[in-house]
Amino acid sequence: MKKYTIHRDVSPVRTAIDYERELNEEQRSVVLSGDGPILVIAGAGSGKTRVVTYRVARLLERGVPPGGILLLTFTNKAAREMLHRVEHLVKMDTRYIWGGTFHHIGNMVLRQHADRVGYNRNFTILDNEDAKDVVELAVRESGIDTKKRMFPKSGVLKELFSYAANTMQTIEEAVRERNPFFYDLLDEMASIHTIYTRKKRETNAMDFDDLLTYWHMVLSEDAELCKLYAMTFAHILVDEYQDTNRIQSEIIDFMGLINRNVMVVGDDAQSIYSFRGANFQNILDFPKKYGDASIFKLETNYRSTPEILDLANNSIAYNFNQFEKNLHSVRSNGVIPVVAPSRDVIQQAEFVAQRILELSDEGIPLDRISVLYRAHYHSMEVQMELTRRGIPFEIRSGLRFFEQAHIKDVVSFLRVVSNPNDEISWKRMFRIFPRIGKKTADNIYSYLKEHEDPFGPLMSKSIGEKFKSIRKENLDVWAELFTELKDLQNDEAPGDMISAVLKHGYIEYLKFTYPNYEARLEDLGQLINFSTKYQSLDSFLSELSLMSGLSGEEVVTAGDFDEERVILSTIHQAKGLEWQVVFIIWCAEGRFPNPKAVEEGAIEEERRLFYVASTRAMDELYLCYPILAFDRQAGHIIMRPSRFLAELKGSCYEEWSINEY
């Protein structure tokens, strides 16, 4: 057989990169450094993408072949952007660089070696929805009667399986850590996981987590293959290293086993994703793992004013577990950050909305203004106030508050009490309960319509004689719940009615239905507090309907603000982004930091979250909190400023006193 060889040009690239002019001294020291393990602590806004890009260009300039470079990122967009910039710098084809997300590279490896883990190389990759469908099939195959009793939905199970895979834990360990209230179901859940794994193999399909699991397996169980890859990659670069989990960290170690030219870039002060399985210790322990590692710090910030950085530096200094750093700005002095205590949550929303309009009048585009918060429910009053004032906004943290499924679920119970002819609410309410699908819900509603008092068959439980599929437990719940709701209706107490719904099974439903049930329960707690403003059930429901039916952009006349929208986002969703002006709301103890995080000793991650939020601001930063808040049980309570505000030096901010005219 005649052999034919393709020759590629791997000669040193002739570039005209002026490192002296295009990089600052900190960046240049990283880019021009020699071989060996490197840890780059890249502070917020310090140009880490620029450093990674120029480092790759420098390696190519030195003659490192493109196929010998592995660039790992957390989004394919980031990898594409970096490689595009490299092409612009060195004027060469970068296609042969291995660049992309961990999952993308894992797929490339397994397309060559899937047979070593019992798969064919033409395996299918399941997206998240497909994976949940396979989990559902596994539940059915297990023989577990999910109609007889409540059992975790496929989304909850898939989330748990994913967490176990990424943290390299057993199902039992993951349940103990994440979902201890499911421990009695551990055997069934482990069985489903086994079936799920088998079904994927039978159909030659992998989910996203498998791409990492089997990549790790190939490297850990085949020493020769591991050696081959470790020799192939002369240099490995990892972006956002503080966000890596255990399995990703170990994969990097395998790939860098021989050449040890591993450069990781990240910021320990921006490690905020432990709930996803990210391991903060990975970046802290890198110098221990690689004893000869060179450590560089990027502390020159190009984003924020000196005043904003002074506040951020002052805050994060209280964390014990960190690499010490002190960001300094290249920008000229700006306005000092503002701490704005308000009378209550309504005034907080009014302040934010009015200040946004003033900033818009000053020429700042609306899409360069952001309102950030610790939890989605914190934005409820701001959403309402922006809507009332006709200020268009975009929510990056999920649906508008009143449009969320769990809000609509609970409200459906109240709607049928207020209006027994509300067909949509009746059917939505029925389908919350086990063993009731669309058809059964339709039939139940039709039956109830035949009665003068549709609540009679529910409260007397006689409906059970007509529909044998309804569980006795459901009948008991309906009888107790609607008896209580009818009594409370007379007291015009929508908050008490919501509490009754939660008490009679909805909290359990949340646990078994949603991976983020705790956040949804917080939303419902806020809905209860919100309801106390209304003197009647009808006025409360009317307001909800109006708020659900309006969006920020719909109440603005054509041409207003030219499609610009204020950005509303959780801090987690805002990482990596920046705005001219940032409002951080609900900076109050008991809200931010999150009380559960305080209980679990995770206060340093909460402070890192505050640091991330503060460093999103370029020009102006407003830290807001209400002095008075209402709790349905405790009544009006005085809120203390967040410890993250109380810790700050007085010189870091200016306090505004909000008055009304």
The catalytically annotated residue of 85, 132, 565, 616 is 616
| Residue 240 annotated in active site | yes
- Residue with tokens 């591993």, as numbered in its chain: 262
Give the integer Cα–Cα distance in Å for 147 and 468: 13
101, 167, 242, 270: the catalytic one is 270
48 is catalytic: yes
Catalytic-residue membership of 660 = no
CA distances from 64 to 18, 70, 87, 90, 324 (A): 19, 11, 15, 13, 33
Catalytic option among 26, 27, 48, 209: 48
Indicate if 9 belongs to the active site: no
Please tell me the distance from the alpha carbon of residue 308 to that of residue 326, in angstroms, as a whole number.
Answer: 13
Q: Which of 207, 209, 239, 310 is catalytic?
A: 239
SS3 247: helix
Q: Is 554 a catalytic residue?
A: no
Of residues 616, 537, 540, 526, the one with CA closest to residue 301: 616
CB 497 within 8 A of CB 488: yes
Question: What residues contact residue 548 under an 8 Å CB cut-off, 6+ apart?
Answer: 400, 402, 403
Are 316 and 657 in contact by the 8 Å Cβ rule? The answer is: no
- Please return the burial class of 535, using the count of CB atoms within 10 Å of its CB with bins 0-12, 13-18 and 19+: exposed
Question: Which residues does 583 contact at the CB level (< 8 Å), separation at least 6?
Answer: 352, 355, 369, 370, 371, 372, 622, 624
The single residue of 15, 49, 232, 573 carrying the catalytic annotation is 49
| Greatest alpha-carbon span in the chain | 92
Catalytic residue among 26, 207, 209, 240, which? Answer: 240
Q: What is the DSSP letter of 502?
A: I
DSSP letters spanning 548-568: HH--TTTTSPTTGGGG--EEE
Strands 235-238 and 38-42: unpaired
Residue 513 catalytic?
Answer: no
Structure tokens at 447: 């039956």
Q: Which residues are catalytic?
A: 48-49, 239-240, 270, 616
